[in-house]
Structure 1
Amino acid sequence: MTTKRKLINVQTPQPRPGFLGAGHTARAVIQTDYTQSDPFIVLMDDMLDKKDEVPVGGPHPHAGFETVSLLIEGEMGDGAHKMKAGDLQIMTAGSGVVHTETIDKKVKMRLMQLWLNLPKDKRWTMPKLQDLSLKDVPIVSENGLNIKIYSGSFAGVTSPVSNYVPLILADIQMQAGISTLQNIPSSFTTFLYVLEGSLKAGDDDKIISQNQVGWLDRYTDNTSSELRLTAGDTGVRFLLYSAQPQGNPIVSHGPFIGDSQEDISRLYSEYRQGKMNDISFFTKAN
């Protein structure tokens, strides 16, 4: 018998002033203990309306996890890895990398950046970048339903990106009153984040509204499960994140994820000693 998934928790993350200064608003979407959000560590909804050309941001290190960045609006970066609205970038920080994000012009943008755990045996893998431009994103579009599949297999199609941790990431738009029934693995940790409008989820039609996040129940078996979704009166646009839990405790400190406090101390030491290369080193090496 197919399991029917349902909403068990709806949260409303509040906007806070962001670290980039004036015009930067940040929402910490994940506001639950890691034992419940595994393998999702952090998801930031960053909105930036920068009205000057003073540089902000800059180089910073990461190690022990992946960043999964979906640009909702605007553009960022430069060169071969420049992102435009609708583009996805996955950076495997792995053994350690220095990443530079400098914004030195007027810009209006919205970025969803996820920190995704790595399997324990891949924690210190070689860093790499994967870029997926909007034109290459698989799309399912029918009867008032539009789904962009950025990662994993969903709605009968599969994204071209590769994953260490099985991850489904979909950007879903539905016209008012449209319903859809979708399959996701019953053991995957799954949440929905509403960008616009409102959504009814599950057979009991629990409502998630704009800027709210809804967490689904989760099972231990690896069978398929069904999720019913219905758009509200004005339609809806939301992101679906669903991934396989790793079941290993992590230690998080600053820009680093490790299996122990000793890992964190080692990573800070390596960074201070200049032993972490810029991500461009690895993209050239690959």
Structure 2
Amino acid sequence: MPIKRELIKIDAPAGQPGFLGAGHIARPVVSGPFSVTDPFIMLMDDMLDKKDNQPVGGPHPHAGFETVTLLLEGEIGDESHKMKGGDFEIMTAGSGIIHTETIDKKAKIRLLQLWLNLPQKDRWVTPRLQNVSLQQVPASNKDGVAIKVYSGTLAGLTSAVQNYSPLIVADIFINEGTSTELELPASYNTFLYILHGSVRVGEEEKLLQKDQVGWLDLFEDAAKSELKLIAGIEGVRLVLYAGKPTGDKITSHGPFIGDTPQDIQRLFQEYRSGKMQHINTVPERQKIFL
């Protein structure tokens, strides 16, 4: 019999003023000790309602991890690469990269950006960029359940995204009163983020509501597990994240993740001395468009 997954922790993170100034609200969906959230370092729900043409954002470095971005609403990027609602991107910062997020016009945007740990053996890999347009996302819609799988395998759907750290990301809609069961590896750390409506989770049918984050129990056993979901009276839209813990200890400071404090010092020196390349200028073989 598959292991039955249950909801063991509910967070209700509050939005707070974001670094992009007026109209930017950032909600820390994932925070806390990495030993508990592994392989997830942090996840921000960024909501921007920008009402002027003053540029915000700009170039900045990253290294030692991956950014995993799901654009829920709006458009970001420039003419060389523009993301639209429903698009997905994984940027492997690896050994170090600079990228630019500048918004210079009126815009209404909502995006989820995850910082995903790279396993220690892959910490300093060559940077790369993977982009998936909404049209290329594996999807199904049957029996009142619509699923889009951006990374990994779920509900018979498999993404073409390449992963260093095994990761499932899925955007799920369930109609009012409809129930479904999802199969997941029992050893994957898993949480649900509710975008709309409500859902009852697990055999215990614990309630999870809009803007809440629900963490599932975690098992060392690599066996299969099942997650039961029953949508509430408004139906539910949620994003599911499940990842295999790396078991590593990390050092985090600013835009960098390393194994030791010395790694962080080295990365700052490399950035200040101009040794980090901009992601737009890396060879085409390091850019994957799906």
Whether the 8 Å CA contact 1:81–1:131 is kept in 2: the answer is no
Does the Cα contact within 8 Å between 2:31 and 2:41 map onto a contact in 1?
no
State the match for 1:21 in structure 2.
Answer: 21
Q: Match of 1:184, as an amino acid?
A: L
Native 8 Å contact 1:66 1:116 kept in 2: yes
Residue equivalent to 1:164? 164
Preserved contact between residue 148 and residue 172 of structure 1 (Cα < 8 Å)? yes
Partner of 1:185: 185
**Residue 143 in 1 paired to residue 143 in 2?**
yes
Cα RMSD of the aligned pairs, angstroms, is 0.8
The whole-number CA distance in structure 2 between the counterparts of 1:140 and 1:103 is 33
In 1, Cα distance between equivalents of 2:5 and 2:77 = 38
1:254 aligned partner = 254
The aligned counterpart of 1:55 is 55
Aligned residues: 286
* SS of 1:77 mapped into structure 2: strand
TM-score normalized with structure 1 length: 0.99
The secondary structure found in structure 2 opposite 1:29 is strand
Matched, 1:5 2:5: yes
CA distance in 2, matches of 1:31, 1:133: 28
Letter in 1 for 2:180: T
- Which residue does the alignment assign to 2:46? 46
Q: In the TM superposition, what is the alpha-carbon distance from 1:284 to its structure 2 partner?
A: 3.3
Residue in structure 2 matched with residue 93 of structure 1 by the alignment: 93
For structure 2, list consecutive stretches of 5 or more residues without a partner in the other structure. Answer: none
Q: Which amino acid aligns with 2:108?
A: K
CA deviation after TM superposition for structure 1 residue 115, in Å: 0.2
2-side partners of 1:229 and 1:14: how far apart? 25
CA separation in 2, counterparts of 1:38 and 1:155?
24
Asked whether 1:281 is paired with 2:277, we answer no
Give the secondary-structure state (helix, strand or coil) at the position aligned to 1:280.
Answer: helix
**Normalized against structure 2, the TM-score is what?**
0.97
Instruction: Give me the whole-angstrom Cα distance separating, in 1, the residues matched to 2:255 and 2:32.
Output: 19
Match of 1:30 in 2: 30
SS in 1 for 2:177: coil
Q: AA paired with 2:2?
A: T
CA deviation after TM superposition for structure 1 residue 15, in Å: 0.4
The answer to whether residue 85 in structure 2 is matched with residue 79 in structure 1 is no
Aligned residues of 2:31 and 2:43 also touching (Cα < 8 A) = no
Q: Which residue of 2 aligns with 1:269?
A: 269
Q: Distance in 1 between matches of 2:72 and 2:6?
A: 27
Encode CA deviations 1:111-160: one digit per residue, 9 max, x unaligned.
10000000111100000100000000000110211000000000011001
For residues 61-72 of structure 1, the aligned pairs below 5 Å read 61-72=61-72
Q: Which amino acid aligns with 1:176?
A: E
Name stretches of at least 5 consecutive residues in structure 1 with no aligned partner. none
- Residue 204 of structure 1 corresponds to 204
How far off its partner does 1:79 sit? 2.6
Q: Secondary structure at the match of 2:270?
A: helix
Amino acid at match of 1:97: I
- C-alpha separation between the residues in 2 aligned to 1:197 and 1:283? 43
In the TM superposition, what whole-angstrom CA distance separates every residue of 1:164-210 from its partner, at most 9, and x where no partner exists? Answer: 01100000001100100110000000000000011111010101110
